[in-house]
A and B are shown apart, each in its own frame.
Chain A
Amino acid sequence: MVSIAPAIVVGFEQLEEVLVGTNPGRGAAEGRKDVSAQAVGYWKANRRLQLTLLAIWAIFGFGISILLAEPLNEIVIGGFPVGFWFAQQGSIVVFVILIFIYAMTMDRIDHEYGVQQEELGAARRRLQRRMQRRTTGETPLEPEDREGGR
């Protein structure tokens, strides 16, 4: 039982790590030499993006579609009471968009922190080279050429 109080303090610090990606008291790097500052920054950026998107998810999925459905149903557009429309159409569309925003923003964050995974197919690589040639006028080497002997 004695260990509970400090455990709760530690718990809050850990929870803060979960929510905003910082870890004040026990800095992520402290005693964890394997976790670089770069890795901490990446995770923090990811957490921030997730919190924003999950907030929008909750506002549409639970706020507008359920909690505010009755007042919103007083407004009718195109035959649809607005609360009804969000609950049966609009929120689904918002969910799809949120996932693509997440995937695309993470592409950017991955690049920023140098953890992107190359997976362009042969056709995409050809297209990219052609675009590059058109804009710069020079012919970039095939990645395979560059790596020559391998």
Chain B
Amino acid sequence: MTVIALTAIQTWALIFAVISFSIYIGIAIYTRVKTTSGFYVADQNIPAVANGAAIAADWMSAASFISMAGLIAFLGFDGSIYLLGWTGGYVLLALLLAPYLRKYGKYTVPDFVGDRYSEIARLVAVLAAIFISFTYVAGQMRGVGIVFSRFLDVTLTVGVIIGMVIVFTYAVLGGMKGITWTQVTQYTILIIAYLIPAWAIAAELGDFPVPQVSFGEVASELNGLQRDFGLTEYTQAFTARPMQDVFLVTLALMAGTAGLPHVIIRFYTTKTVRAARYSAGWALLFIALLYTTAPAVAVFAKTNLIQDVANQSYAERPDWIRNWEDVGLVTFNDRNDNGAVDSLGTTTDTDVELQVDPDIMVLANPEIAGLPAPVIGLVAAGGLAAALSTAAGLLLVIAGAVGHDLYYRRFRPAATDRERLRAGRVGVLLAVLAAGYFGVNPPAFVGQVVAFAFGLAASSFFPVIVLGIFWRRTTAAGAVAGMLTGITLTALYMYFTIFEDMEYWLGVSPEGVGAIGMVINFAVTIAVSLVTKEPSQEVQDLVEEVRHPRIAPPAAPAASTAAPSE
């Protein structure tokens, strides 16, 4: 047996990982479910505040936790697209979707689309939900693998497999109920892990230890540093993207957030319609804790970085830069051989001397602030919590699509509750295996496609769900036509601009085209609905029912449709 020597950081990362994983498994055993309703919607018995925390963890992925602040640091003002887009969507969710879908109360998003429109619409929705969730989940499993390999010195594959086993255990045992309470725990871990280093750095760089307050002065200092370094000012708007593109990307991210199936189903689990409204508020409040801190972290990290490399020979760089150089996330290419850093950018900027992977901006924070090893271990646990919580939510969407929408609703409507529960668990198993496979062997495009899942959700689900609730006249033909045109045009534009180097039309980037796809979807759905026959009385009754928190399912047409529809 070889003795494995662990560094202090690895020891602490391991301790926190083991503690948090034990809690997750403990919750799974405690909350294991026996019914389909428990498995898919946690018996609709989750209090608003807890549901809000679960939504926040479900929503904030490895991308929010690890990557976002770094992306913002290199985008400056234009990084607002993520901040505005990924928070503003909750206003749409809270006002236009959550309360009504909660009233509807079934298990999946395709359930609503299918009951409101038609079986074909259900099938389109199932395929869209699976496609969107897979592009997203592969990135999460990979995030788990990366954190493991960086902090615990195991290979990426082993990291992904450990993550798969953990998620599988608590998703299979506890279903949505287990996932919910695990996500509440994961939110707690990830927010503490994010805030401690941020507050420590704020105390060091600013005059006041609250990052949201003190980063203003630091930002104006950073403006000066960037000017001296030959970069545009940090707070100057529209340096990375033109204004119309910032507008469109923000809109696409907002509508995409509101159309993502794994976020929507989290609102099915509250006790009442009222609780669904409040849990949207709590969710955004919890998310805002991190999202208002991230731009401050971005400013602090960028300031540190420039101060540490500018106006001195590169040989004098501090240790934290050397550490990340060893891992290959910082590379220095002295083009003019003067031994100093003359230009700075991300790993995708090929013509700069110092290339920095944006991910290290958050991961390096505790080192820069000189925080002790336990805090760095906690940050590793936070990154794991963020990735695992999102992966679990996505896996349940895929399991629901397989076990509920396809197996039960399409092929075996006579299945007993036991059989449906087993189908759901098999769905989780299939989803975990597929997600793990893509995590280890990512198709070349996955990294890029994750960011585009939003555009696809915005151009497919968002319009037909909103219209389905707010416009009684929306027909099945309209919805199917709208979803298909919206998602097809959006996907084609993304494909041609990214892979075929097509010129952007009117400066619209592939990230922003989802907003255009959404408008087209609205237009097509409305136009086709107007020339097709208005929906049946039954469907109109359903619309009326979801609009009101406490109307009994209309009893009037009971005579004509005597057979119980439930």
**Chain A residues proximal to chain B, CB less than 8 Å:** 3-4, 7-8, 10-11, 14-15, 17-18, 32-35, 39, 42-43, 46, 50, 53-54, 57, 61-62, 65-67, 69-70, 73, 76-81, 83-85, 87-89, 91-93, 95-96, 98-100, 102-103, 106-107, 110, 114-117, 119
Can you name 9 extra interface pairs (CB under 8 A) apart from A61-B254, A73-B237? A17-B471, A46-B547, A54-B91, A83-B237, A95-B90, A96-B285, A100-B281, A103-B278, A116-B550
The 8 residue pairs across chains A and B that have the minimum distance between CB atoms: A79-B216, A87-B80, A103-B277, A79-B217, A99-B281, A80-B216, A88-B295, A7-B530
| Given A67-B243, A91-B84: A103 in contact with B531 (beta carbons within 8 A) | no
| Complex contact B544–A119 (CB within 8 A) | no
Q: Which positions 229-262 of chain B face chain A at CB distance < 8 Å? A: 235-238, 243, 246-247, 250-251, 254
A-B contact list, 17 entries, CB within 8 Å: A10-B473, A10-B530, A14-B472, A18-B471, A34-B557, A35-B544, A62-B250, A69-B77, A81-B235, A88-B80, A92-B291, A99-B277, A103-B278, A106-B274, A110-B549, A116-B549, A117-B550
Contact of A50 with B216 at beta-carbon distance under 8 Å, contacts A33-B556, A62-B247, A117-B274 already known: no
Distance A58 CA – B79 CA, assembled complex (angstroms): 19
Instruction: Pick the contact of B284: A4, A7, A53, A99 (CB < 8 A).
Output: A99
Contact flags B261-295 to A (C-beta < 8 A → 1, else 0): 00000000001111101101100110010011001
Q: Are B237 and A70 in contact (CB under 8 A)?
A: yes
**Interchain CB contact (< 8 A) of B272 among A35, A54, A73, A117:** A117
Asked if residues B531 and A53 are in contact (CB atoms below 8 Å), the reply is no
Contact A70 B88 (CB under 8 A): no
Instruction: Determine whether B9 belongs to the interface, using a CB cutoff of 8 Å to chain A.
Output: no
A78, B216: Cβ atoms closer than 8 Å: yes
Chain B residues engaging chain A, CB cutoff 8 angstroms? 72, 77, 79-80, 83-84, 87-88, 90-91, 94-96, 99, 212-213, 215-220, 235-238, 243, 246-247, 250-251, 254, 271-275, 277-278, 280-281, 284-285, 288, 291-292, 295, 470-473, 526, 530-531, 540-541, 544, 547-551, 554, 556-557
Say yes or no: A65 contacts B80, CB within 8 Å: yes
- Chain A residues with Cβ below 8 Å from B84 are 61, 65-66, 87, 91-92
Closest chain A CB from B456 CB (angstroms): 22
A131 to chain B, nearest CB (A): 21
A34 vs chain B, min Cβ distance (A): 4
Q: A93-B292, A116-B274 are in contact. Are A85 and B216 (CB under 8 A)?
A: yes
CB distance from A16 to the nearest CB of B (A): 11
In the bound complex, residues from chain A placing their C-beta under 8 Å from that of B217 are 78-79
Inter-chain contacts of A53 with B (CB < 8 A): 91, 95
Checking B88, B219, B251 against A79 with a beta-carbon cut-off of 8 angstroms, the contacting residue is: B219
Q: A18, A50, A70: which has the most chain B beta carbons within 10 Å? A: A18
In the bound assembly, the distance between CA atoms of A109 and B213 in angstroms comes to 37
Interface of B is mostly: helix
Give the docked Cα–Cα distance between A106 and B218 (Å).
41
Minimum CB distance partner of A105 in chain B: B277
Contacts of A42 on B, CB cut-off 8 Å? 548
Contact indicator A93/B288 (Cβ below 8 Å): yes
Answer whether A66 and B247 are a contact pair too, CB < 8 Å, given A14-B472, A79-B218: yes
Q: Which of A11, A62, A73, A81 has the most CB of B within 10 A?
A: A81
Q: Are A102 and B285 in contact (CB under 8 A)?
A: no
Q: Are B212 and A89 in contact (CB under 8 A)?
A: yes
Expressed in whole angstroms, the Cα–Cα distance for A67 and B281 within the complex equals 26
Determine the distance from Cα of A110 to Cα of B278 in the docked complex, in whole angstroms: 14
By the criterion CB–CB under 8 Å, are A95 and B295 in contact? Answer: no
Contacts of A32 in B (CB 8 A): 540, 544
CA distance A32 to B538 in the complex (A): 12
* Neighbouring B residues of A92 by C-beta, 8 Å: 83-84, 87, 288, 291-292
Task: For B88, give the chain A residue with the smallest CB separation.
Answer: A61
Taking CB as reference atom, which chain B residue is nearest A76? B220
Residues in A whose Cβ lies below 8 Å from that of B280? 99, 103
Closest approach, in angstroms, between the C-beta of A103 and any C-beta of chain B?
A: 4
**A4, closest chain B residue (CB):** B531
A115 close to B87 (CB less than 8 A): no
Question: CA separation between A84 and B218, bound complex, in Å?
Answer: 14
Report the minimal beta-carbon distance from A22 to chain B, rounded to whole angstroms: 13
Distance in angstroms from B55 CB to nearest chain A CB is 12
Chain B residues positioned under 8 Å from A87 (CB to CB)? 77, 80, 83-84, 237
What is the minimal beta-carbon distance from A11 to any residue of chain B, in angstroms? 5
A93: B residues at CB distance < 8 A: 288, 292
Cβ contact within 8 Å between B471 and A80: no
- Is the Cβ of A50 less than 8 Å from the Cβ of B548? no
Given A95-B87, A117-B274: A73 in contact with B236 (beta carbons within 8 A)? yes
A81 surroundings in chain B (CB, below 8 A): 235
Contact of A50 among B96, B541, B551 (CB under 8 A): B96
Q: Which chain A positions have C-beta within 8 A of B544?
A: 32, 34-35, 39
Whether the Cβ atoms of A96 and B284 lie closer than 8 Å is yes
Give the CA-CA distance A87 to B84 in the complex, in Å.
7
Q: Are B274 and A57 in contact (CB under 8 A)?
A: no
Q: A7: which of B99, B272, B531 is its contact (CB, 8 Å)?
A: B531
Q: What is the CB-to-nearest-CB distance from B105 to chain A, in angstroms, rounded to a whole number? A: 13
Contact A106 B88 (CB under 8 A): no
Contact between B471 and A14, CB atoms less than 8 A apart: yes
Cα A37 to Cα B472 with chains together (Å): 17
Neighbouring A residues of B277 by C-beta, 8 Å: 99, 102-103, 106
Least Cβ–Cβ distance between A89 and chain B, in angstroms:
6
Of all chain A residues, the one with the shortest Cβ separation from B283 is: A99
In the bound complex, what is the Cα–Cα distance between A131 and B536 (angstroms)? Answer: 50
B216 touches A98 (CB 8 A): no
A10-B530, A95-B284, A110-B549 given; A66·B250 CB < 8 A: yes
Q: Which residues of A contact B243 (CB under 8 A)?
A: 66-67
Q: Are B91's CB and A99's CB within 8 A? A: yes
Q: A57 → chain B, closest Cβ, in Å?
A: 5
